[in-house]
Structure 1
Amino acid sequence: MIVRAALGLLCLQLALGQSIPEPGPATHSPAAQGDLLFLLDSSASVSYYEFSRVKEFVGQLVQSLPLGSGAVQTSMVLVGSKPTVEFPFDRYRSGAAAQEAVRAAKQLMGDTNTGLALDLAKEQLLTSKAGARPGVRKVLVWVTDGGSSNEAQVPMQALKDMGVTVFIVSTGRGNFLDLSAAASQPPEKHLRFVDVDDLQIIVPELRGSILEAMRPQELHAAEVTSHSFRLVWPPLLSGDSGYYLLEVLPSTNPGAKQSRHLLGNETSWFWDGLEPSTTYKVVLVPESNLHYLAPQTIQVTTSENEGMLGWEGEKSGASGLLTHVPSRPTEEISPSRILISHSKPQSFHVSWAPTPASVLRYEVLYGPLPGGKAQLLEVPATENSTTLDNLSPNTTYLVTVAAVYRSGREKALSAKACTRR
């Protein structure tokens, strides 16, 4: 089921209790070049304490980045009723100066108009007026408490369609499935779900991932689903120096080859209409009228049908780890809130706001953080609470409540809960 995959992925990705080494000098290679934009929720849904912790986190990130006109540039947009640009890309040339600017940011308060902020981010990332540079990698880091007052999926998808790599850091609230769909794929590499007091734990790893996303890369596939993938490559040509020949052929039937001719200024192409669980050979041939460029070849395997589950363990069991998060829009709504109460060393009570009559049942998935196996408990549609027991003392759990509708669709909401000592 969808929610099983979500928590399984989250548990895998949150195995951060282990020591994470600081990146060495090689991580700060001058080969990393790109425009990095931070999108920070500074609305009234975030407390002053939370906002200050987020600023400290972002400040630590930028402090050790290789900032400069030939390396990384950074900008910051604050989310509120009317999103604002805190500083443009070309203002700060040192990590210390950028860190100080982040710390000096004032909270906007008001509504969480993330959609408007993403539109503003798009303008920042693509215009030279804001200091953005053509031909370099674009990265967006969105730090959020999980909520938005307006539509955010469409403008976020527009950014990803333009080749922007999207990292999301959620401080623990909101719908995990929606966030995993908003982040670049796969979610386990681009979505961090961390308590606001533990943000510093992920600084080294996230910094390394950002720099890796900015390094020139050869042809590779992104956003792989059961019927499509996006092909991305570095700028090898220009609009007037040649063109690309892109070929995709299934390994089981090379005769079914498909080809596209693309302009020399293209650096990505979305290919759909593919078969599930199929390996494709992809060949990119740069045809230049100036000099020879060698073809690039990769193999890409589409996921299982409809992007559905990879359940590791017994299919009929109530626990296991899952490896893939599907993202399928639904018209049904999720439980509007989750309440944790009566916490004891080995149990706590979970209740949620009722959802419409078309709910068939509820599925409560819970597992310890970081890492660990998830357990599933089914609850009848006539009830909206349950007690989870046989838990470990003094342990943080991620609890996801999914409303399963008669249509077969699911909508879910996640929350953290801690058992007592």
Structure 2
Amino acid sequence: MPKAEVFSRDFKVKFTVSNYEETVKMFVLRLFDCCQGDILILLDSSGSVSSYEYSFLRHFLVDLLHPFLLGRGRVRVGLVQVHTEPQVEFDFDTCITQHALQEALLRTQQLHGDTNTEGALLLAQRLLMKPLGHEAPPRVLLWLTDGVKPGNVDRPMAALHQEGVSVLAVSTGHTNYHLFRQAVTPPIEEHLYFVDAEDMSIITEDLREAITKLLCAERLHVQDITSHSAMLQWRPLLIGGLGHYELQYGPEMLASSQYSTEQGRNRTLILLGEQSWAELRDLQPDTPYRAWLIPHTQQGITRSLTNSFRTLPEMLGPATLSVSESGPDRVRVSWGPVLPAQVHQYRVEYAPIPRGDVQTVTLSGRQNSTLLTQLQPDTQYLITVIAVQSSGQERAMSVRACTQEVLPGLTDLQLTPVGLDSVKVDWRAWSEGAGLQGYWVRWEVGDRSSSSSSSSSSSSRYLPAQSLFTILTRVSPASRVCVSPVYRTARGEGLCAALCTHTQLLLHGSRDASGFRRKR
């Protein structure tokens, strides 16, 4: 399929037909990422609702709510079942992922009994009550019922309206338009639906859009604040992406007006009309900022959005971390830079991977390294250096380090002639360690047809770990025999012995160029 390409002259953004669906998907995710508030579902679970209808109601809710991002600071969903004794099926903090919400909705069982809607609404009032001393997020009550004998709901519904709760209703059966019209909050045409249970899918998009308007209000959201950056998100304000955004931001003390340019400190970004987020970088730590989003259309400037935030304090601590002097039982860890004026002390925590006890070393703020000892050989460790600032704040950096394998050498090597040109080689090792793989034996092979030592050549043999001797043949006169242990990562220290005659072996304490101790 040929690709259609569109280029923005100012921003050099390239779109293709092949990535259109992915672009739309990301756009939708950004849209719902701006939503924040509580949705309480009032689900009619009485006996007047058939099992057939109840199944449609559950699946309708799964489809309706699946685009919303859940959790604190985003959208929270709770469910109250209406029957003789109304009960909370799950509260706002139960489902923090879409998977958990869908599972909770699908396993909800019908309770039957009477339609005690009034009692369920009193329960809903407690769940949706505005927290004392805090600004309440947008709150939505979604009432799903067959409309049979809903009872006296005027007073509890009025109390919810007064509390600032938006009420939406869907009726799948009896039509009492006057009752439902009084129950829902305006606009009636967007918040009240009458539909057969098997046809509920036709209202999904309209109802979701109504909820989105309530929860995803035109606000400038600030997220992911660090000491030097912040993420701004908003619900799209320009229809069809036509026009552009002007984003101004600066320190609060300078940004007294959205058009302030005092000392040129306010910064301005020009953004595409379809954009719904922007990352602010190179901010100053621990500084109050104010930002304005100004939509521009062909008709001029429309209503702008604004918000304030404060960047986090600078977290001082290790910027570099390295390891050295690694041995079987030790490793040195070093870090920098050293900031004794800001860092009160360093705490070094280390433990074997994947599991093991955590050890801790505490050092002054003037130190930049420490030698960790009594470690396990041939083991990977996770080492974390934590800078504890005078304010009590902490910043950490971690590194992985491996100790070396223990490589025990041989303790003895003996050569015993067993024939004219054969010799028995015996050796002893410190132990058969876990990493011992075997032994390498190297010797000089003589040429029987020549008496010259220059005609000999070297040969080698690999033996398994359980071997402690071998017999060599065609060994040249005055040949040197070397044996070294082989471990998983390297060879250990070996021994060499020289065969002077068939009957004499002389001990010599030097070390040859290959790292073997030599016996003669």
- Higher relative helix content: 1
Q: TM-score, normalised by structure 2?
A: 0.36
Q: TM-score, normalised by structure 1?
A: 0.44
